[in-house]
Structure 1
Amino acid sequence: MQAKPADVSLDTRHWLHFVAGGTGAVVSTTATFPLDVVKTRLQSDLYHQPIGRGRIVTEAPSLGTTQLLKNIYRREGCRTLFRGLAPNLWSFVPETAIGFYAYGNTKRILAEIFNHGHESATVHMCAAALSGIATETCTNPLWVVKTRLQLDRERSTGLGRVYKGSWDCAKQILSSEGVPGLYRGLTLSYLGVSEFVLQWMLYERMKLACGISKEMASPSSSSPSEWFGILGAAGLSKLIAATIAYPHEVVRTRLRQQPLSGKRRYTGPIQTFELVRKEQGLIGLYSGLPAHLWRVVPGAAILFG
């Protein structure tokens, strides 16, 4: 009997995942974006370095998430809490939508070719890694612009804004740092794919443990127990993965921040990691973690649920 050839064609049903991923990304990103601004400022050292004539900005490292959120709103206005939202949406929405679509199809194709159509932890891991690397490569310049806008000095420093907006930021980076400037932190983004891989693996395992179908269920076709199971699996898997992988976020932010007085303090992943650890200890590698978790865990629940 002739063996049935593996079906490696793209499944059009995953366009539903593409649309769902994009829509969920818009909602979750916009709703939780102020926390992302707070997280980025806590991760960076620009807000506790000497500025000008001996003045020091000590706001970010000394305050907690809630107090820093209030201070930004009071001193810089509501718009600052959403500064960088545009490039974030330009990157996160296609990244999430493409990630959902690529992951769903890659998972099925790998299972057909290498595991007789059956899914496994290895299939989930490889599918997540491949889709994660592809999306990070495409969207890295937008993440750099987003980080620069979020770290742009507040009016209270007396230095004024460096960037007028997303396009101006991109032009200044290209002018002063060249194309490589838009790809700062890309190596860390590739390492960060491990978070994406771990999250998907945990999510798939938790769904199976809850007795939920391997296919991504939609709210309209799921029972309340399945829906809450998906919600819980999404939130818990993101909590675990984000906590484990968080230090790379701090290192990546330091690499992407604008140089002070034209001098770049952080030159590479290893040098940055060692410098942060030396100056702030291991706790410095978890700066802004609470704000990050407050944002990404509910965001994952919204996105997957």
Structure 2
Amino acid sequence: MSQDQQASSSSSSSRFLPAKSWQHFAAGGLGGMCGAIVTSPFDVVKTRLQSDLFRQKHSTINVVGGSAGSVVVGAPRAPSNLLYNFVETGHILRDIYREESPRALFKGLGPTLVGVIPARSINFFTYGNGKQIIANTFNDGKENSYVHLCAAAIAGIATGSATNPIWVVKTRLQLEASTRKSATNGQRFAGSSWIMIKKIMREEGVRGFYKGLSASYLGVTEGTIQWVLYERLKKLSAGTEGRGGMQQWLGMLGSAGTAKCVASLITYPHEVIRTRLRQPSVNGVMKYTGLLQTLRLVIAEEGARSLYGGLSAHLMRVVPNAAVMYSIYEGVLYWGA
């Protein structure tokens, strides 16, 4: 084979299988794992605030007689504003710790890690290699926002389809109440992952593991916005233009956190809808059965504001999560180059 033919063959191979493509897989999984562990308590709070099963318990705060923060069913809710929402998140974390045990703050972490590691690995692998393939195939090897958008959308669909069953199990676990007594007796809380898997299979069949998949596909827009913004902000950040040290690290943190915050604010209602769709049945009846049905029912019963339930806890989780995840991802790619 001539040198020209070898070069052509090498170029064709790199076009469809970029060099060191495995690094995106490993870096994404490692970053996702670290971020999930650090921010797990906020994930529990967010899930509960999104669900109407815990709305009555956690949406009212008694401020009479100096007992601010006490949860009292039927008490008038404090004025809703951004600052209060963050304070409310703190109260709920405290109540879960007191009433259910510290372990309850990490409910669902097992299936979260089981889901996060492959989810982030698949997402970063598909996106990192996809943008190179799309650019080489359709844009003369040049990356731009359109290339990033297409790669992010494909990555989101692939990730959602592969990991939806894991997120269903995680959501069900987080919505199961557990008492301090059962925890201190050394018993595993009722919703262990395996027990929950068998319960879903027995009561709902295989289709039960794909509850909320339509909302997950709708959520692809969040990942798409996040990736496109991150790429743009990374270019604008002086800390990521070939400069090392603290400036480069801070640039990555700022770009990742800002991109995730903006994307979450724009697309957050799909998170609430997805959580409602994944809720267990009550007395054998599934209250939420479809994307549009859930949207209409939530607005009719609770108002449009409820579509942003748990937003404060969500932001407190996903912004630092994204900063940790993307910095680890970029670091692994940098040191593996």
2:215 is the alignment partner of 1:185: no
Question: Residues 162 and 303 from structure 1, CA distance in 2 versus in 1: closer, same or farther, beyond 3 angstroms?
Answer: closer
Q: 1:239 aligns with which of 261, 265, 277?
A: 261
- Aligned with 1:270: secondary structure? helix
Q: 2:286 aligns with which of 264, 273, 287?
A: 264
Equivalent position amino acid for 1:127 in 2: A
**Which residue does 2:57 correspond to in 1?**
59
TM-score, structure 2 normalization: 0.81
**Which residue does 2:39 correspond to in 1?**
32
Equivalent position amino acid for 1:208 in 2: K
Runs of 4+ in 1 over 3 A off after TM superposition: 2-7, 161-164, 211-214
Cα shift at 1:23: 1.4
Distance, in Å, in 2 between the alignment partners of 1:12 and 1:82 is: 38
Equivalent position amino acid for 1:16 in 2: Q
Cα shift at 1:231: 1.0
**Which residue does 1:167 correspond to in 2?**
194
Distance, in Å, in 1 between the alignment partners of 2:285 and 2:148 is: 43
Task: Provide the aligned length of Structure 1 versus Structure 2.
Answer: 289
Please tell me whether the aligned partners of residues 10 and 105 of structure 1 are also in contact (alpha carbons under 8 angstroms).
Answer: yes
Distance, in Å, in 2 between the alignment partners of 1:162 and 1:273 is: 32
Please tell me whether the aligned partners of residues 59 and 68 of structure 1 are also in contact (alpha carbons under 8 angstroms).
Answer: no
Cα shift at 1:162: 8.8
Equivalent position amino acid for 2:177 in 1: R
**Which residue does 1:47 correspond to in 2?**
54
**Which residue does 2:301 correspond to in 1?**
279
- Aligned with 1:62: secondary structure? coil
Cα shift at 1:60: 1.8
**Which residue does 1:230 correspond to in 2?**
252
Cα shift at 1:226: 2.1
**Which residue does 2:276 correspond to in 1?**
254
Cα deviations by residue, 1:23-45 (Å, 9 ceiling, x for unpaired):
12111101110110010000000
**Which residue does 2:116 correspond to in 1?**
92
Quote the sequence identity (%).
Answer: 48
**Which residue does 1:53 correspond to in 2?**
none
**Which residue does 1:303 correspond to in 2?**
325
Determine which structure has more spread, i.e. the larger CA radius of gyration: 2
**Which residue does 1:198 correspond to in 2?**
225
Cα shift at 1:140: 0.3
- Aligned with 1:8: secondary structure? helix
2:235 is the alignment partner of 1:208: yes
Cα deviations by residue, 1:99-142 (Å, 9 ceiling, x for unpaired):
11111110000000100000011100010111111111110000
Question: Residues 297 and 249 from structure 1, CA distance in 2 versus in 1: closer, same or farther, beyond 3 angstroms?
Answer: same
Question: Residues 117 and 213 from structure 1, CA distance in 2 versus in 1: closer, same or farther, beyond 3 angstroms?
Answer: farther
Cα deviations by residue, 1:142-191 (Å, 9 ceiling, x for unpaired):
000000000002338x9xx9944101101111111111100000010011
Please tell me whether the aligned partners of residues 18 and 133 of structure 2 are also in contact (alpha carbons under 8 angstroms).
Answer: no
CA RMSD of aligned residues (A): 2.4
Distance, in Å, in 2 between the alignment partners of 1:213 and 1:110 is: 23
2:147 is the alignment partner of 1:147: no
Distance, in Å, in 2 between the alignment partners of 1:62 and 1:203 is: 37
Cα shift at 1:11: 2.2
Distance, in Å, in 1 between the alignment partners of 2:158 and 2:262 is: 23
Distance, in Å, in 2 between the alignment partners of 1:276 and 1:171 is: 29
Cα shift at 1:18: 2.1
| Worse overlay, 236-245 or 4-13 | 4-13
Distance, in Å, in 2 between the alignment partners of 1:118 and 1:241 is: 25
TM-score, structure 1 normalization: 0.89
Q: 1:71 aligns with which of 68, 92, 95?
A: 95
Please tell me whether the aligned partners of residues 239 and 249 of structure 2 are also in contact (alpha carbons under 8 angstroms).
Answer: no
Distance, in Å, in 2 between the alignment partners of 1:269 and 1:99 is: 24
Q: 1:109 aligns with which of 123, 128, 133?
A: 133
Cα shift at 1:223: 3.4
2:21 is the alignment partner of 1:14: yes
Q: What are the ranges of 5 or more consecutive residues in structure 1 without an aligned counterpart?
A: 49-57
Q: What are the ranges of 5 or more consecutive residues in structure 2 without an aligned counterpart?
A: 62-87, 183-187, 328-337
Please tell me whether the aligned partners of residues 47 and 310 of structure 2 are also in contact (alpha carbons under 8 angstroms).
Answer: yes
Equivalent position amino acid for 1:84 in 2: G
Distance, in Å, in 1 between the alignment partners of 2:45 and 2:253 is: 25
Equivalent position amino acid for 2:311 in 1: L
